Every structure is written in structure tokens, then in C-alpha cells.
């Protein structure tokens, strides 16, 4: 049996934000959400505990609304990482399984790594396994102190380290797997006699060794996974890393992405092979994109977008909550929201679905049948249906349903006044 503890009580001062650190988002998922999902996706844990403190209520609400297998526990005041873990003691009096401890501010951790880590812990009959990583620049991390025979002896925090210890490049990633019954007594024995005057979780390593328990370290392969968020800069970097991961999966699946550096694709977007994403596209939320589509450059898909095969979404086109069937083009300067659009439709440049009534605050649907042609710069005032094969003349404001194969046109006829300019100029 396995349960997890996720530390999320810290202040996050450097975020300079009214939002608790772990509720900041990458795409539309919170940092804490990534960590809980990674744990849940392993299928190993039956229950998670999130330690909350700073702005506890907001984090409690988030967890309560989204995760039925996850409890929040208040840590107040916050006296260190060891103190944070000790908050679960009353909840796990009779528990006799494993506990994995993680931080709520490392959103790039993967379920695969967590699985491998737990497997390593089990295969080595370990009582306490700490995840370590080799960092060229280990500054600010706790350092892993190993004995000559390679055994992990203790962890020393940067602020407590000697110069020699500071030169160690193996750092504490802050993720642990422990056999609860063997280690739990450590939490009532931790001391605060260190540079920060805190109860250090890291001291359980030394404690375990003193009790003759099996203490091991698992070296992380991809350092990116424990990238921690402490500032908005870190948040931006983590977003880029996550995005790059997603893009690499799409590339491997046969999607053509011209410029990964300027393309953003949310984790919940599915794309079929041979679709081409041109530079500077932002694709957020949950979307399904078929084969041989062309998206961008400069397109914005805002979620709940379904594109069948061979759809073209061109530059400066924004699409939201819309289904577009195969062979349809919306090539330039268009907004399509709350719409259902058929096959082989042409949406002229500058077409807008006016889906929002600001007086009633209601959103309404635009339904466009197969083979419809919408002339440039038209406004389709929803709710409205344009039936199969109908044409809309350029610059029309469509406020009524249009029957199939009809022409709808609302512009006033063009007036040509011969010689008007010449007369003004006196020629
Ligand atoms: C900790 C480790 C360090 C490791 C690093 C990895 C300790 C003493 N040090 O250092 O060895 O290299 O993580 O990132 O554990 N938290 C609480 N309650 C508290 C204090 C912290 O919930 O009272 C939470 C924080 O919100 C954060 C996590 O614990 O999510 C880690 O705390 P932080 O202060 O960032 O630890 P570090 O100093 O980075
Ligand atoms: Ca810290």
C-alpha cells in the first residue's frame, strides 16, 4: 500500500502574487494539479495528503473541488519540511505501508519517474529512499553526503554545508519514499539545531542510518523533472519545458511543427499525423485536430475545438468551442466561437461569429451547413443557422436563419457618382 504526502505550505514570497504558489498555472492546470495527477497516474497511491499553510483556504478549496482521494492538512506555523510531514502523524497511526513525499511546486515530475522510484525502493528492500540528481550548479540544494563505500550517510543543506560539502554535485531532489512504520518515529525526534532553525525532513536520512535501517538514493535521469517553481521566471521556464515535452510527442507522432519555439500546445490537445502547425500558434484547453490540417501561422485555438481532417485555420483566426468538419477553410482574420461548421465550407476573411450578447451575458450558437460560403467581413449574429449550400455576400450582418442554397446579402447597393472627385478638385 502506498500513500503520498505533497508539501505545499510554503510561502512562495518570490512569486510576488496574491495567488498561492502552487495554484499558479501552466496552461490551465495548477502546479499542484500536475503533481497530484502524476502521483494518481502511477496507480500506486490510494490516498494523498497535501500539507497546506500559506493561503491554506485557497489550496484547500482547489483540492476539495478537484481530487476526491486527496486530503489537505493544515501546517501552522510552518516550521520546516520535517515539521510539515509530521502533520500527517495523527492520520496514519495504524498505517503500515509506504509513503512517498513530494513537493507541490515541481510540476514537471512524471508518473513514470515516480513509478521507477518506488520500484527501486522496493527492489532494494529499502526503508528510506531519497531521490537525488547530479547538478553542475548545485547551489541552494541540499547535498547528498555519501560514505567512501558509496552508502548515503546524510543530507546537508547549503546553509549548513562546509566549503568541501558545497562542492558536491549530487543534490537532494526533495522526493522520498519511506516505509512509514520504520521511519515515523523520526518525526518526533527531529531537532532545529541548524542554520535555519527549522525541522529538516532531510535529517531522517541520518536518523535512519543511526537506527540501522536500509537507506538508499535513486539518481534521477532527467533533471528537468524536479525543476522547482519559486518565481515567475521559473514559471515561464517550466511552461517552456512542459510545452517542449508535448511538442516532442506530437513530432514523434508525425505532426509537422515548423517552429517548436513559438508554438504552444496544451497537454489535452490531440493531433493526428500530417497536420502542419505553422509558427506562433497558441493552442490551449482540450482540442482534437484531425489529419492533414493546416493551422496558423498566428492562430489561436482556445479549447473545445474539434477539427476533422483537411481543415485549414489560417493567420489571425481564433476558434473556441467549435466543431469544424473536413475540408473547411477559415484562412484569415476570423473569430469562430460556439459554432458547428459543416464540410467544405469557406469562411471568408474577417468573418465574425457574434456569439456573445453583453446585455444578457448569454452565449449562442452559430450553425453552418455543408458547402456554405461566407463572404468576407460578415458578422453572423448568433443564435443563427445557415443551411447547406447557402451563400452570404461580403459585409453582411446575418441576423436571421438562411435556408439552404439561398443567397443572403445585407449591404446597401454600391453608388457610383461619375466625376465626383474631379468636380471637388475643380478639374
Ligand atoms: C528542500 C530540502 C533540500 C532539497 C530541496 C529540493 C529540506 C530541509 N531541504 O530545500 O535538501 O535540495 O528541498 O527542492 O527539506 N514546506 C512546507 N512547510 C514548511 C517548509 C516547507 O510545506 O514548513 C514545503 C514548501 O512549500 C516546498 C517544500 O516544502 O514545497 C520544500 O521547501 P523549501 O523551503 O522550498 O525547501 P528547500 O529549502 O528548497
Ligand atoms: Ca527554501
CA dist 251 and 73 (Å) reads 41
* CA-wise closest residue to 313 among 277, 340, 358: 277
Question: What dihedral do alpha carbons 234, 299, 313, 240 form, nearest 10°?
Answer: -10
* CA-wise closest residue to 75 among 97, 104, 35, 47: 104
- Set 24, 83, 300, 332: catalytic member: 332
Nearest CA to ligand 1 atom 26: 10
Question: Which positions ≥6 away from 413 have C-beta within 8 Å?
Answer: none
What value does the mean pLDDT take over residues 23-36? Answer: 96
pLDDT of 11:
87
Nearest CA to ligand 1 atom 25: 10
Q: Which ligand is nearest to the CA of 11?
A: 1
The ligand 1 atom nearest the CA atom of 77 = 23
pLDDT of 325:
98
Give 72 Cα–ligand 2 centroid separation in angstroms: 21
Is residue 332 part of the annotated active site? The answer reads yes
Ligand 1 pocket mutation pick from 31, 81, 192, 217 by most atoms within 8 angstroms of CB: 81
- DSSP letters, 191-224, are ---STT-S--TTHHHHHHHHTT--EEEEE-S-GG
What value does the mean pLDDT take over residues 43-57? Answer: 97
- The 10s digit of each residue's pLDDT in 330-373 is 999 999 999 999 999 999 999 999 999 999 999 999 999 999 99
The answer to whether 216 and 129 have CB atoms below 8 angstroms apart is yes
Give 112 Cα–ligand 2 centroid separation in angstroms: 26
Give 205 Cα–ligand 1 centroid separation in angstroms: 15
- The 10s digit of each residue's pLDDT in 74-126 is 999 999 999 999 999 999 999 999 999 999 999 999 999 999 999 999 999 99
* Residue 411 pLDDT class (50, 70, 90 cuts): confident
Nearest CA to ligand 1 atom 37: 141
- The 10s digit of each residue's pLDDT in 172-186 is 999 999 999 999 999
CA dist 308 and 299 (Å) reads 17
End-to-end CA distance of the chain: 95
Q: 403-423 burial, b if ≥16 CB within 10 A, otherwise e?
A: eeeeebeeeeeeeeeeeeeee
CA dist 412 and 392 (Å) reads 14
- The 10s digit of each residue's pLDDT in 245-264 is 999 999 999 999 999 999 99
pLDDT of 218:
98
Ligand 1-lining residues (CB < 6 angstroms): 7-10, 51, 53, 75, 78-81, 83-84, 103-105, 141-142, 155, 157, 171-172, 174, 200-202, 228
Element (H, E) at 120: helix 111-123
- The 10s digit of each residue's pLDDT in 189-215 is 999 999 999 999 999 999 999 999 999
What value does the mean pLDDT take over residues 399-418? Answer: 96
The answer to whether 402 and 387 have CB atoms below 8 angstroms apart is yes
The answer to whether 379 and 397 have CB atoms below 8 angstroms apart is yes
Amino acid at each position: 500500500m502506498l500513500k503520498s504526502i505533497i508539501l505545499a505550505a510554503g510561502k512562495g514570497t518570490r512569486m510576488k502574487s496574491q495567488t498561492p504558489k502552487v495554484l499558479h498555472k501552466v496552461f490551465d492546470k495548477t502546479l499542484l494539479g500536475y503533481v497530484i495527477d502524476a502521483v494518481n497516474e502511477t496507480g500506486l497511491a490510494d490516498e494523498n495528503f497535501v500539507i497546506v499553510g500559506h493561503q491554506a483556504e485557497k489550496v484547500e478549496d482547489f483540492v476539495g473541488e478537484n481530487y476526491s482521494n486527496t486530503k489537505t492538512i493544515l501546517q501552522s506555523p510552518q516550521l520546516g519540511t520535517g515539521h510539515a510531514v509530521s502533520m500527517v502523524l495523527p492520520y496514519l497511526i495504524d498505517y503500515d505501508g509506504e509513503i512517498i513525499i513530494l513537493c507541490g511546486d515541481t510540476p514537471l515530475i512524471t508518473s513514470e519517474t515516480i513509478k521507477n522510484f518506488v520500484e527501486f525502493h522496493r527492489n532494494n528492500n529499502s526503508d528510506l529512499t531519497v531521490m537525488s540528481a547530479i547538478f553542475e550548479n548545485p547551489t541552494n540544494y541540499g547535498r547528498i553526503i555519501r560514505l567512501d563505500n558509496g552508502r548515503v550517510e546524510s543530507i546537508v543543506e547549503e546553509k549548513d554545508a562546509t566549503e568541501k560539502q558545497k562542492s558536491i554535485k549530487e543534490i537532494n531532489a526533495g522526493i522520498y519514499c519511506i516505509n512509514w512504520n520504520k521511519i515515523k518515529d523520526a518525526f518526533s525526534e527531529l531537532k532545529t539545531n541548524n542554520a535555519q532553525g527549522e525541522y529538516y525532513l532531510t535529517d531522517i536520512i541520518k536518523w535512519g542510518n543511526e537506527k540501522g535501517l536500509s537507506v538508499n538514493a535513486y539518481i534521477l535521469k532527467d533533471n528537468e523533472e524536479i525543476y522547482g517553481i519559486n518565481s515567475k521566471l521559473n514559471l515561464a521556464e517550466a511552461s517552456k519545458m512542459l510545452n517542449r515535452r508535448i511538442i516532442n510527442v506530437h513530432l514523434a507522432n508525425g505532426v509537422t511543427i515548423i517552429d517548436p519555439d513559438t508554438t504552444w500546445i496544451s497537454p489535452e490537445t490531440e493531433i493526428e499525423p500530417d497536420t502542419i502547425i505553422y509558427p506562433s500558434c497558441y493552442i490551449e484547453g482540450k482540442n482534437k485536430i484531425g489529419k492533414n490540417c493546416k493551422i496558423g501561422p498566428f492562430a489561436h485555438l482556445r479549447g473545445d475545438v474539434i477539427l476533422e481532417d483537411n481543415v485549414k485555420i489560417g493567420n489571425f483566426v481564433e476558434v473556441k468551442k467549435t466543431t469544424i468538419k473536413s475540408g473547411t477553410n477559415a484562412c484569415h482574420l476570423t473569430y469562430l466561437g460556439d459554432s458547428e461548421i459543416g464540410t467544405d465550407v469557406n469562411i471568408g476573411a474577417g468573418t465574425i461569429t457574434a456569439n456573445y450578447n453583453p446585455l444578457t451575458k448569454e452565449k449562442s450558437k452559430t450553425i453552418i451547413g455543408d458547402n456554405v460560403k461566407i463572404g468576407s467581413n460578415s458578422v453572423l449574429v448568433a443564435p443563427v443557422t445557415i443551411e447547406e449550400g447557402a451563400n452570404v455576400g461580403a459585409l453582411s450582418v446575418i441576423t436571421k436563419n438562411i435556408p439552404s442554397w439561398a443567397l443572403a446579402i445585407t449591404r446597401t447597393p454600391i453608388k457610383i457618382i461619375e466625376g465626383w472627385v474631379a468636380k471637388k478638385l475643380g478639374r
